[in-house]
Chain A
Amino acid sequence: MNVKTINITVNGMPFFVHEGTTVLEAAKLVNVKIPTLCYHPDLPAWAACGICVVKVEGSPKMFRACSTPVEEGMSIITHDPEIVDVRRTVIELILSTHPNDCLQCLRNQNCELQRLAADFGIREMPFEYNINQIPVDDSTPSLILNPEKCVKCGRCVKVCQGMQNVWALEFLGRGESTRIAPAGDVLLAESPCIKCGQCSAHCPVGAIYEKDETQKVWKALQDPTKHCVVQIAPAVRVALGEAFGLEPGTLVTNKAYAALRRLGFKGIFDTNFGADLTIMEEGSEFVERFVHGKGELPLITSCCPAWVDYLEKYYHDLIPLFSTAKSPQAMVGALSKTYYADKSGIDCKNIFMVSIMPCTAKKYEIVRSESMYSSGCQDIDVSITTRELSRMIKSAGIDFLNLPDEDADAPLGIYTGAGTIFGATGGVMEAALRTAYFLVTGQELKNVDLTDVRGIEGIKEARIRMAGKEVRVAVAHQMGNIEKVLDLVREAKVKGKELPWHFIEVMACRGGCIGGGGQPYGATDEIRKKRLAGIYKDDTLSKIRCSHQNPAIKQLYAEFLGKPLSHKSHELLHTKYTPRPLYTR
């Protein structure tokens, strides 16, 4: 494609940019930072806040840099006393509607509005405060809406409706009573919300956030009758470091183990072990359906709880296609209170299982159905996000960066490269194919790097031959991309046409779990790519890269479960799905 170049100047500095570049992007190219609040690189410019205004020579107006495309010969002024004055007034106006309780806010020191106020050197509030008092919505187990802090930037609405195609959040009211809430003014729990938490990850302030459950964890850690164990999800290890100033994608697996041990956990497990186990169960399920024709195709992955929620709400006619295998988190949870409990001789009632997840929906998953109590206790007691863990580490005074590297505890802490890539979009598919190939053909795959399913593309496809048959797979991430895939499947089913794919992986968040709603703030594609690179580095560094080769998994089947899809496996490691209404009221 031919892209036209355009001559512009920014603050007198002439240069070329591609046609279609916005003023904001163009300024960035010459290291001029135009302040923004509502703008987010993931989203189309909504142009709500009015902070990014600039002047264009020859026009009496001010333009919003986020949404104004450059034009040939444009001479842009990004900073002059008048512009800064207008920006400051707008920020002051926004502050006049925002509670002045930064010190008590969970976004303290991590808030985009606070940063703007600091950058503009705002030292006093010239206007009267005018704060809408609206009750907090804490109806879901995952997310809290605090409309009082909302700055109406619209990011959450655009994420929920656009990126995620969920349509739980909407603008309600008008003018100064505009607020963000589920459409129809129901509670979030009564709405189509799938708890993916992308709204919270995109919120610039403390208006939407994860339900903080660190106090529950602290309490358990201090309770002498509780034997606290913990598992850490694949995507956490490439993002947790960001909270301590490390580059996105830095692998901090072993420092995280060390930190958890110092927090007081007695058993340090890894969700990656559960991922390997999921592959054994789900891979076997695929072989059953694909080779033996027992069950419907395409098989669709089910380890993402937000996706499970979405399917149960929007596509429940496709429930038979869903893998019944539980998510890795749930498998580790169930085993920690059965297999581990047996081995260590501790009553499951006294074991307190905490999961560290990149995800807010995992908080919902641990109570979503009866099968989450398969051990006879609640399999996972608390699920906290990467963000919550980072706060715990900080408040415990642990010098994270200087911790020694430590290992997790066997057997539930032993994992392969296949387990770790669960944290990336395409990772579950890649891991499953590595093992399915072995299960179908009896041979190991020569090149385990299935790069077709990797990367940030919204929908990816691949074909692989197994025992003379072609397996067609699709991978979709970011909920808004799944509709296209599922509609094709549905159409093929209804019309009796050939299935477009045999196996489909879905993850609700952009980039997969590494871009999860519970990850450190500020994710953009740039950061997501770094985190992805970290995940694949972990895979490459692993000595064992296929789940079925994990010795701890082999031992588990030998000692406890028998074989994949055994009766015991079904009891502990599989679940059921049920259609759910979009609105419960």
Chain B
Amino acid sequence: MAFKSYVLVCGGTACQSSKSEEIYKNFIAELEAAGIKDEVQVVKTGCFGLCEKGPIAKVLPDESFYVKLTPSDTKEIVSEHLVKGRPVKKLLYQGEETKKLAKIEEIGFYQKQFRIVLRNCGVINPEDINEYIARDGYAALEKVLFQMTPEQVIEQLKISGLRGRGGAGFPTWLKWNFTKEVNDFPKYIVCNADEGDPGAYMDRSTLEGDPHSILEAMTIAGKTIGSNKGYIYIRAEYPLAIHRLEVAIQQARELGLLGKDILGSGFDFDIEIRLGAGAFVCGEETALLTSIEGERGMPKPRPPFPAVKGLWQKPTVINNVETWASIPVIILKGGAWFANIGTEKSKGTKVFALTGKIKNSGLVEVPMGTTLREIIYDIGGGIINDKKFKAVQTGGPSGGVITADYLDTPIDYENLQKLGSIMGSGGMIVMDEDDCMVDIAKFYLGFTVDESCGKCAPCRVGGRQLLDYLEKISKGKGTREDIAKMKQIGNAMKRASLCGLGQTAPNPVLSTITYFEKEYLAHIDDKICPAGKCKALITYSILPEKCIGCGLCARRCPVNCITGEKRQPHVIDQSACIKCGECYSVCKFGAVARK
């Protein structure tokens, strides 16, 4: 019996945390109750990317895009749409721009995207290997096992121009080639799935939505460089991704796509999962390898590079999830096809996790060279409440801020670096006029200080010193000399830290100083925080001429420090005020002033 309709329910972590699992089960139950369970297939897929609007379900072939579902909505969708063919309009995605009901291809969020890495996310059931196979899964592996020499594989990678998506953008083919050329066995293949940048979750989504693409790519690498063993190092905080990987590995083994003598080719390859405890530094490749070995995850000096002496001192190819996910496509469609996408030096696509003050937060995959403006305005739908864009932080805590002046910069590795930021794993946090740059720098520094492994002095001590200066400045106690000292420390950290974490940790500070020095000086010289974020520098007061004495602020004040007679202007007791800003945001008459 063929199915007449399909319901694709997002099974990504974000949607699952808002009950998509229940929605999935309700769909099945409702269909059964309606007597059409044999006519409609319900599929739990990976992430659709538009996480802002989750939980999401898509009905095919009608391409109805249901958003922000609750478990009880399923009854109506089944009885109206699936039984009677009448889409439930109130639950459909409403395009912000046009206020029109949108089909998926009409949604701005998806229009400028180009999906290679996320090609199967939201399309297939990640827990069914057959669906992956149906989407040309394991066809690249076939090619590598039976038609291509290792040299040809590396040649295609070289032509493709693929560069490591984990941060620094090292050419993938070179990495593979180094490892291939070393005559020292056994060799290892490692997938770095220790994603840790705040706000970044593309690796998690890829693993949840398309785990087989990683397994296939790692097996391809194994065949190419002569390794029979792969490890996926994934943080234990990703239980769903781990589960999907476990299921995928099991299914691949059952079909003989992992294990001994794959597809009768005589090539053996198997993959094991290693769980990380969530230390950010373990995303650094040498620390990650040390952690797999069972030691404390601390970076080691390079050289020797993992390609020569990696896991257990043996040659090791280590790539991150996004890099791996691109590989089967490159093999299948050819390096030249991939090289057609992107800019001169940065090829292919890049997945960004768009968050912050943006309307459509979520995962987006765009060709390299797409401008920040396109991502933020066309895909992201612009700033929440149509406030003024201030800056965007790329590269997470290792990156820097990019200001409005550079919104039309095509994004690639080189351009971001020129602007004092980095590609990193692809986090993109959008800030508006309400964000204070000192505060932002403080946030990121706080993160890296927490996550520094503590091994090397510049990072361990320098990070803390920088954070202390930022705190001092945000309290209005900073001096101009402090800025010079911060630059001195930042430079020493960049030059003398052992690993990427320490070398890039000062970036958020240095780049905010570069682009927003005035804002720093406002904190230092004028003792004001222009964005009104730094609590020590702001006071809330009630303007008697505007206050009508409604008492709303007094009722909302969590510390009861606002008093006043009914219909008389109220007063804030400054000694008790905790500067939470609640009065400021609830006053409908603009009677609360923030200075």
Please report A residues at the B interface, Cβ cutoff 8 Å: 45-51, 53, 61-62, 64, 66-69, 85-87, 89-90, 93-94, 96-97, 126-128, 130, 151-152, 154, 170-171, 173-178
Contacts and interface: CB of A to CB of B under 8 A. Distances in A.
B491 interface: yes
A127 B472 CA distance: 13
Contacts of A152: 454-455, 457, 460
Contacts of A64: 301, 498
27 contacts: A47-B498, A48-B455, A48-B498, A49-B456, A49-B457, A50-B497, A50-B498, A51-B457, A51-B496, A53-B495, A86-B495, A89-B488, A89-B492, A90-B496, A93-B492, A127-B465, A127-B485, A128-B465, A130-B465, A152-B455, A152-B460, A174-B451, A175-B460, A176-B454, A176-B461, A177-B454, A178-B454
A175 B453 contact: yes
A90 B460 contact: no
Interface string B422-463: 000000000000000000000000000111111111101111
Nearest to A49: B457
A62 B455 CA distance: 18
| Max chain B C-beta neighbours (<10 A), residue from A64, A93, A173 | A93
Given A68-B301, A93-B457, A127-B465, A175 B450 contact: yes
B296 interface: yes
Given A96-B465, A128-B465, A48 B495 contact: no
B454 A171 contact: yes
A516 to B, nearest CB: 29
B300 interface: yes
A90 B465 CA distance: 12
Contacts of A127: 465, 485, 489
Nearest to A175: B452
A86 B492 contact: yes
Contacts of A86: 491-492, 495-496
Nearest to B484: A126
Contacts of A53: 495-496
B25 interface: no
Central interface residue in A49, A89, A96, A178, by most chain B CB within 10 Å: A89
Contacts of A62: 495-496
B54 to A, nearest CB: 33
B490 to A, nearest CB: 10
Given A50-B496, A50-B498, A69-B303, A89 B460 contact: no
A446 to B, nearest CB: 48
Contacts of A51: 457, 496
A66 B496 CA distance: 13
Max chain B Cβ within 10 angstroms of own Cβ: one of A48, A97, A152? A48
A175 B464 CA distance: 9
Contact of B492 (A90, A96, A178): A90
A455 B496 CA distance: 39
Contacts, number: 106
B461 A47 contact: no
A276 to B, nearest CB: 46
B303 A68 contact: yes
B591 interface: no
A176 to B, nearest CB: 5
B279 interface: yes
Contacts of B279: 174
Contact of B452 (A87, A96, A174): A174
B301 A45 contact: yes
Most buried by A among B279, B463, B492: B492
Contact of A94 (B450, B455, B457): B457
Contacts of A48: 455-457, 498
Contacts of A67: 301
B128 interface: no
Nearest to A63: B301
Nearest to A98: B461
Contacts of B454: 152, 171, 173-178
B397 to A, nearest CB: 13
B460 A176 contact: yes
B532 to A, nearest CB: 28
B488 to A, nearest CB: 6
B263 to A, nearest CB: 42
Contacts of A176: 449, 452, 454, 460-461, 463-464
Interface string B269-308: 0000000000100000000000000001010110100000
**Most chain A beta carbons < 10 A, residue from B449, B454, B464, B489:** B454
Contacts of A66: 301
A46 B458 CA distance: 14
Given A127-B465, A175-B452, 12 more contacts: A48-B455, A50-B456, A50-B497, A62-B495, A64-B498, A87-B496, A89-B496, A94-B457, A152-B454, A152-B455, A171-B296, A178-B460
A89 B459 CA distance: 12
A126 to B, nearest CB: 6
B378 interface: no
A537 B142 CA distance: 73
Which one of A94, A126, A173, A175 has the greatest number of beta carbons of chain B within 10 Å? A175
Interface string B482-520: 000100110110011110000000000000000000000
Given A174-B452, A175-B453, A128 B458 contact: no
A89 B456 contact: no
B458 A90 contact: yes
A410 to B, nearest CB: 55
Nearest to A95: B461
B468 interface: yes
A174 B453 contact: yes
B456 A175 contact: no
Nearest to B304: A69
Contacts of A61: 495
Contacts of B497: 50
B322 to A, nearest CB: 25
A129 to B, nearest CB: 10
Nearest to B464: A176
Contacts of A173: 454
B461 A96 contact: yes
Nearest to A91: B457
Contacts of B463: 175-176
Nearest to B297: A174
B457 A90 contact: yes
A66 B456 CA distance: 14
B453 A89 contact: no
A200 to B, nearest CB: 21
Nearest to A71: B303
Nearest to B458: A50
A62 B497 CA distance: 9
Nearest to A161: B295
B512 to A, nearest CB: 20
Nearest to B296: A171
Contacts of A85: 492
B458 A93 contact: yes
Given A94-B457, A127-B485, A175-B454, A47 B492 contact: no
B468 A130 contact: yes
A97 B461 contact: yes
Contacts of B485: 126-127
A38 to B, nearest CB: 8
Contacts of B298: 171
B449 A151 contact: no
Given A53-B495, A171-B454, A47 B464 contact: no
A178 B279 CA distance: 14
A89 B300 contact: no
B468 A128 contact: yes
A364 to B, nearest CB: 28
Sorted nearest first, the 8 A-B pairs with minimum C-beta distance are: A178-B454, A50-B496, A89-B492, A67-B301, A175-B452, A47-B301, A93-B461, A62-B495
A94 B492 CA distance: 12
Contacts of A128: 465, 468
A154 B301 CA distance: 14
A496 to B, nearest CB: 34
